[in-house]
């Protein structure tokens, strides 16, 4: 049953700032250069001491994000769910799971975020729901021929007695993408068996999600991150693929269950709804497309506003590869008038401090490069603290569904989901009052927000400085081009309109680089800022240390 708020919200209609909320003014295409911070609710802050992050915990820590200098917050799912896949198996899209609080708590987070000058984007999971969703439970109970089964993908099996799955599709998490019920029919689930796929050819499914959009827009959210945005629509006839290890193909080619052209009609209908609401509400596609040109189709002017740039995320720490990724991204997305997005970490990938190799210096350099590029940037909670991937988790505490299955994803996503350290010298580091749902390392005392605040050498203070410069410098933020400057192998140098120059050394040795008259604004190596900036130096050559990005003002 949908929860009701405990008391009327004092948020102004459609999430516009109320009488005392003047920090979010009317903006023009704010999303083109926004820095958006992802909160994984289980692991951000625990407000009731049960070891699980929740909405009251998030509300109590929003000031950290205000002080960090981000523009918006993206919340991973907090809907009512059996939690078979950490909330990405939704049982009720209009209710809050008791693990995280109540609908009133969600409203309070939206209201407080707006008061702090932050926008709120929430996850939407339209490809599949939970097997405990009311529609699916009725479909199973009513048996073959039920009208409710038409809202999902139920099929008879192959073989003499229907004992074989309807086709050869595999789950992203491993194993067949089909589960057979006792009545003999099979249902499709591209992820866990507890996550049946909706049939998006059915009008009731389309109507339901348009209603869900309006429900949350009316409560004041500023946009939606669309989970598996490349999914939903399946090829007619559900044809075989012809070989296994299909999870490895995602993002490399069009598949009969991913990146089908029919999804774009869905997003055009959603864009019409978003445009009805004031305040520039946005849609963000999590779309694993085989090319940037295919990704650009999701962000055409009448569809969604942004698409996650996984091509950039998957680029190695190599100057040539990075330059190619930047050029290709700006070209493909600029062709449809959309901003590029840049991301290094999220809840599904190894944290970039670990993934890129090279330790903290390289992670900081990668961040400063990302924040210098034209467009919008996404930060994942904890990267501002320099958190590494937690690789030593006992098998018995892991909860990633694919960890328990074969041939799908690697099953090791828990390592980037360990709860954040806020203060203190031992677990739970101020996260809450007791043990955390995933154990924190014993050596994180120096990585807490408390320990890093005010330390001029800390990663947190670098992020705060970088975002403050980005917010005020005319050469950072929106745009669709960079001007590449001559640089030796392994080094990137580019100019942004507005008098900002960025240099990136991806090599293991310091390099000497001739530059025009400039003064240093910010370096990814401490000391990050120049205490008393002077006028531009005429020095013809500057040294760029190994694994370092520097911003210069001309």
Residue 79 is given by DSSP the state: E
pTM of the model: 0.92
For residues 432-455, give the mean pLDDT: 95
For residues 520-546, give the mean pLDDT: 81
- Residue range 352-403, pLDDT digits in tens: 999 999 999 999 999 999 999 999 999 999 999 999 999 888 777 767 655 5
Distance, in Å, from the CA atom of 387 to the CA atom of 512, rounded to the nearest integer, reads 31
Pairing of strands 491-496, 500-505: antiparallel
Beta bridge partners of 186: 155, 180
Strands (E), 148-201: 154-155, 178-180, 186-188
Q: What's the residue count for the chain?
A: 554
pLDDT for the residue numbered 280: 96
Decide: 122 and 224 in contact? Cβ < 8 Å. Answer: yes
Distance, in Å, from the CA atom of 440 to the CA atom of 467, rounded to the nearest integer, reads 28
The single residue of 207, 276, 410, 455 carrying the catalytic annotation is: 276
Pairing of strands 282-285, 306-307: parallel
pLDDT band, residue 495 (cuts 50/70/90): very high
Cα diameter, the chain: 82
pLDDT for the residue numbered 3: 39
Pairing of strands 154-155, 186-188: antiparallel
Decide: 232 and 255 in contact? Cβ < 8 Å. Answer: no
Joined together, the tokens standing for residue 463 give 């992020």
Residues with Cβ within 8 Å of residue 54, at least 6 apart in sequence = 41, 45, 46, 47, 48, 99, 100, 101, 105
For residues 34-54, give the mean pLDDT: 97
pLDDT band, residue 407 (cuts 50/70/90): very low
Question: What does the DSSP assignment read for 496-533?
Answer: ETTTEEEEEE-SSS-EEEE--SBEEEEESSSS-S-SS-
Distance, in Å, from the CA atom of 379 to the CA atom of 371, rounded to the nearest integer, reads 10
- Residue range 130-184, pLDDT digits in tens: 999 999 999 999 999 999 999 999 999 999 999 999 999 999 988 999 999 999 9
User: Would you say residue 38 has pLDDT above 70?
Assistant: yes
Residue 190 backbone dihedrals phi, psi, to 5 degrees: -70, -10
Percentage of the chain exceeding pLDDT 70:
91
Mean confidence (pLDDT) of the chain: 91
pLDDT for the residue numbered 391: 87
What's 401-460 look like in SS3? Answer: HHHHCCECCCCCHHHHCCCCCCCCCCCCCCCCCCCCCCCCCCCCHHHCHHHHCCCCCCHH
Percentage of the chain exceeding pLDDT 90:
82
Q: Which is nearest to 381 in space by CA: 47, 76, 146, 144? A: 76
Decide: 326 and 281 in contact? Cβ < 8 Å. Answer: no
User: Would you say residue 7 has pLDDT above 70?
Assistant: no
Q: Which is nearest to 63 in space by CA: 73, 53, 48? A: 73
H/E stretch holding 264 reads helix 263-276
Decide: 242 and 168 in contact? Cβ < 8 Å. Answer: yes
Q: How far apart are the first and last CA of the chain?
A: 59
pLDDT band, residue 536 (cuts 50/70/90): low
Distance, in Å, from the CA atom of 119 to the CA atom of 111, rounded to the nearest integer, reads 10
194 is an active site residue: no
User: Would you say residue 509 has pLDDT above 60?
Assistant: yes
Look-up of token digits 């991204």 = 329
Q: Which whole-number Å values give the CA distances from 451 to 422, 458, 540, in the listed order?
A: 8, 9, 39
pLDDT for the residue numbered 13: 29
Joined together, the tokens standing for residue 171 give 């789950």
pLDDT band, residue 11 (cuts 50/70/90): very low
User: Would you say residue 26 has pLDDT above 70?
Assistant: no
Look-up of token digits 């993934």 = 355
User: Would you say residue 266 has pLDDT above 50?
Assistant: yes
pLDDT band, residue 252 (cuts 50/70/90): confident
276 is an active site residue: yes
pLDDT band, residue 479 (cuts 50/70/90): confident
pLDDT for the residue numbered 480: 84
pLDDT band, residue 456 (cuts 50/70/90): very high
User: Would you say residue 18 has pLDDT above 90?
Assistant: no
For residues 413-440, give the mean pLDDT: 94
User: Would you say residue 253 has pLDDT above 50?
Assistant: yes
pLDDT for the residue numbered 63: 98
The single residue of 107, 227, 259, 286 carrying the catalytic annotation is: 227
Strands (E), 304-347: 306-307, 341-343
User: Would you say residue 25 has pLDDT above 50?
Assistant: no
């Amino acid at each position: 049953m949908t929860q009701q708020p405990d008391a009327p919200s004092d948020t102004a209609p459609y999430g516009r700032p109320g009488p005392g909320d003047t920090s979010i003014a009317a903006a023009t295409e704010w999303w083109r250069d926004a820095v958006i911070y992802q909160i994984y609710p289980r692991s951000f802050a625990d407000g009731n001491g049960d070891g699980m992050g929740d909405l009251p915990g998030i509300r109590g820590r929003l000031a950290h994000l205000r002080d960090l200098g981000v523009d918006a917050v993206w919340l991973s799912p907090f809907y009512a769910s059996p939690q078979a896949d950490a909330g990405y198996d939704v049982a009720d899209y209009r209710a809050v799971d008791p693990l995280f609080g109540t609908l009133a708590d969600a409203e309070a987070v939206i209201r407080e975020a707006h008061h702090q000058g932050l926008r709120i984007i929430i996850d939407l999971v339209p490809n599949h729901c939970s097997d405990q969703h009311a529609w699916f439970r009725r479909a199973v109970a009513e048996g073959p021929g039920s009208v409710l089964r038409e809202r999902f993908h139920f099929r008879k099996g192959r073989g003499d007695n229907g004992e074989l799955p309807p086709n050869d599709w595999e789950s992203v998490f491993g194993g067949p993408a089909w589960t057979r019920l006792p009545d003999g029919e099979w249902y499709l689930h591209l992820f866990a068996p507890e996550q049946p796929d909706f049939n998006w050819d059915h009008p009731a499914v389309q109507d339901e999600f348009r209603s869900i959009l309006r429900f949350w827009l009316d409560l004041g959210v500023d946009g939606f991150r669309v989970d598996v945005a490349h999914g939903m629509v399946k090829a007619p006839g559900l044809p075989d693929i012809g070989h296994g290890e299909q999870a490895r193909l995602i993002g490399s080619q069009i598949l009969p269950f991913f990146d089908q052209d029919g999804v774009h009609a869905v997003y055009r209908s959603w864009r019409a709804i978003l445009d009805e609401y004031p305040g520039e509400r946005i849609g963000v596609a999590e779309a694993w497309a085989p090319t940037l040109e295919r990704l650009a189709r999701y962000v055409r002017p009448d569809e969604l506003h942004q698409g996650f740039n996984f091509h950039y995320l998957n680029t190695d720490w190599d100057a040539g590869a990075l330059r190619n990724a930047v050029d290709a991204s700006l070209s493909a997305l600029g062709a449809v008038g959309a901003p590029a997005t840049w991301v290094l970490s999220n809840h599904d990938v190894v944290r970039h401090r670990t993934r890129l190799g090279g330790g903290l210096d390289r992670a900081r350099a990668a961040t400063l490069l990302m924040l210098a590029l034209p467009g919008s940037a996404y930060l994942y909670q904890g990267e501002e603290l320099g958190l590494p991937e937690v690789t030593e988790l006992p098998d018995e505490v892991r909860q990633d569904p694919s960890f328990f299955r074969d041939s799908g994803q690697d099953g090791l996503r828990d390592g980037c989901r360990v709860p954040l350290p806020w203060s203190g010298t031992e677990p739970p580091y101020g996260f809450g009052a007791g043990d955390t749902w995933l154990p924190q390392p014993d050596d994180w005392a120096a990585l807490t927000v408390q320990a890093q605040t005010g330390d001029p050498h800390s990663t947190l203070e670098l992020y705060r400085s970088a975002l403050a410069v980005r917010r005020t410098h005319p050469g950072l933020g929106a745009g669709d081009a960079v001007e590449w400057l001559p640089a030796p192998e392994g080094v990137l140098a580019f100019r942004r309109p507005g008098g900002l120059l960025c240099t990136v050394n991806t090599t293991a040795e310091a390099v000497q680089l001739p530059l025009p008259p400039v003064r240093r604004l910010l370096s990814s190596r401490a000391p990050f800022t120049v205490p008393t900036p002077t006028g531009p130096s005429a020095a013809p050559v500057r040294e760029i240390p190994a694994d370092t990005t520097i911003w210069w003002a001309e």
